[in-house]
Amino acid sequence: METQTNRQELRSVDKFITAGVAGHVDHGKTSLVRCLTGIDTDRLKEEKRRGLSIEPSVAPFQLPSGNRIALVDVPGHSDFLKNTIRGLSSVDMAILVVAADDGVMPQTKDHLAVLNFVNAKGGFIVLSKADLVDHETIELAEMEIREIVEGSFLESKPVIPFSAMDGSGLQEILLATENEAEQIDGKAIQAPFRLWIDQVRSFPGFGTVASGTVISGSIRRENTIELLPSRKEVKVRFIEVHHQRVEQSVAGQRVGLNLHGISLADVKLGTVLAAPGVLSPAGLLNAELSLLPTARRPVLNRQRVKLYIGTYCTTALLVMMENERLHPGETGLVQLRLQEPLAVLPRDPFVMSPMNLHTVIGGGRILETPRQKFRVANSEKTLSYLQPLQRDDVKTIINLYITKFSSRPVTAEEIVSATGFPAERVQSAIKSRVRAGKLLYLDGRGYFDRTLYELLKKQLVPVTKKILSKDAFKPAASADEIRFRLDPNLNDALFERMLGELCKEGKLTRNEKGYRVPNFVVKLPSYRERLIEQLVEFAKKQGYATFSAGTFWKRHGEGISHRDVEKVLDHLHFQKKLVRLNDGRFLTVDALKDIKEKVRALILGKGSLTIEDGKQLLGYGRNRAVPVLDYLDSIEFTRRVDDERVLNPEDCHIRNLRG
């Protein structure tokens, strides 16, 4: 059960912020974190021995205001670039540390590029080791920093001189952290749960514990979640936030999840935990790629690169969509063909490096996860969809996405999932198009393009005529026949709405067999007209004697197929000129009326009718009499009581006599 303390804790804080502490090796990142939190983030023996960070480490930090923040101290050495990107992948803001005596160094630039690509929204710069240099050197270092952050999210942010030796600048850093954290919105708590795993461990007596930052949604103890890309379902046994057990964790928090039903070998760094059904592994990613101006050379079509998404690193084949190469400083559309599938969402950021170098050359964002490989022959269609995604054109994308589905409505949730656009923007744009008459809303089912709807609806009448034209005796075109001719995959709700509207408009009529077009008559061949006349005359002569298609065909079938006789009988039955009994035999309507009058008179006289009575009344044996009597039961003219029949109440049999 959720504790009262935990409930109050979640209510009192609107958001949880993660800050990446980034910068070149030996520029004082770990010392800064230690001064702020009292925590030494170099926890591994190898880190102690070498005097540098190898793995990202997290230190919880409470600001003077009471707001809490997680500081992620990342490695500064280029050899550990993969670990650095993993640590920075989910940060909301950045503290970029630059040593005053060294100035800007290669990893300063690489870390800044990573922070830009992962969409860090705020932060500031710390000019460390300020006690080692004079004032003039500090000014020069600040000028150099201003130059490299120009055009980035840190362009107008403070540069704060700091010394870990004497603590100068620490109060300014606390104030800047507070100010930046206040301005950041935080992650989407209302979205489905998702977490990139950046640490995984096994503890005796507890089992597997996976850690990471909750990048969206919330998670509760005992929830069942999905491990991707393997799609294994696991249960959360307990949750820890900064070494304290809690009942629930929300977006922005650093958590450790004890996973039940899975071994350490099943969980790898870079895999994803998510609410079941939210993600699907994808091997193809259509994306927007920006190459850094500082990249040494262009990237070429079909070049292999290292791709970093979330906390995962994989190899990808780069397929250019617009040109054969992308030059430094340029942005283009590409397809990333992954070595192994990843579970990602549109708008997820990525970072890219060459196969043989530990340096960042570019990055971007996923636009969609297609099912098919990009082909030059289809480039116009592909680009016409990706370019609006690239420029965040919600209205155009809604139109394009909905018209992609010509057979069914599309929900707003589908569009949000497929595009990554905020739900509020999608809903607003959809409502605008519904008001303008561009989209049709089907209650609870989604939206459909109005123009396409009217086009399909307009085809229904000609399609129905075509079906009826093939058989003049066909009583109606069934809904299944019409749908098959129009579009076999057409959604039920759309199809039924079209048929209903056409019936209301008088363009179609409906009967028990299906649909007809008013006043649409198919001219019968002369031999069938003669057959109708013969059958009508034959039926009249039969009187009370029921007959089948075979009865007529044996007597008058010369030059006529048995199937033609069956079709004409069906036609006459549909036109209510003949009555079809349960045994497949027929009577004329007039004969049935006479039989009903005689049965009524007999029952009124005797009180009931037996099968013997029926045989005598009809003039033939039990096998032919019973179907007639059963038919009278079926139309509620009579009612069977044991082995006898009685009349239904007066209002029923009067109605039937008239009918």
- The 3-class SS string of 155-168 reads CCCCEEECCCCCCC
Give the residue among 113, 99, 114 at the shortest CA–CA distance from 161: 99
Percent of residues, the chain, with pLDDT higher than 70 = 94
Fold of 543-658: Arc Repressor Mutant, subunit A (1.10.10)
Fold of 281-381: Elongation Factor Tu (Ef-tu); domain 3 (2.40.30)
Where exactly are the structural domains of the chain? Answer: 17-183, 194-274, 281-381, 543-658
Token pair of 138 as six digits:
């500090």
Q: What is the mean pLDDT of residues 435-458?
A: 94
Domains 17-183 and 281-381 share a fold: no
Res 62: pLDDT: 85
Res 65: pLDDT: 81
Distances in Å between the Cα of 205 and the Cα atoms of 202, 258, 266 are 9, 11, 18
Q: What is the mean pLDDT of residues 563-581?
A: 84
Res 13: pLDDT: 47
User: How far separated are the first and last CA of the chain, in Å rounded?
Assistant: 69
Q: What is the mean pLDDT of residues 154-176?
A: 94
CATH code, residues 17-183: 3.40.50.300
Res 45: pLDDT: 63
Res 473: pLDDT: 74
Give the residue among 611, 637, 643 at the shortest CA–CA distance from 625: 611
CATH code, residues 194-274: 2.40.30.10
User: What is the residue-averaged pLDDT of the chain?
Assistant: 89
Q: Is the pLDDT of residue 44 over 70?
A: no
Res 61: pLDDT: 87
Task: Give the model's confidence band at 48: pLDDT under 50 very low, under 70 low, under 90 confident, else very high.
Answer: low
The secondary structure of the chain in percent helix, strand, coil, rounded to multiples of 5, reads: 40, 25, 35
Res 46: pLDDT: 63
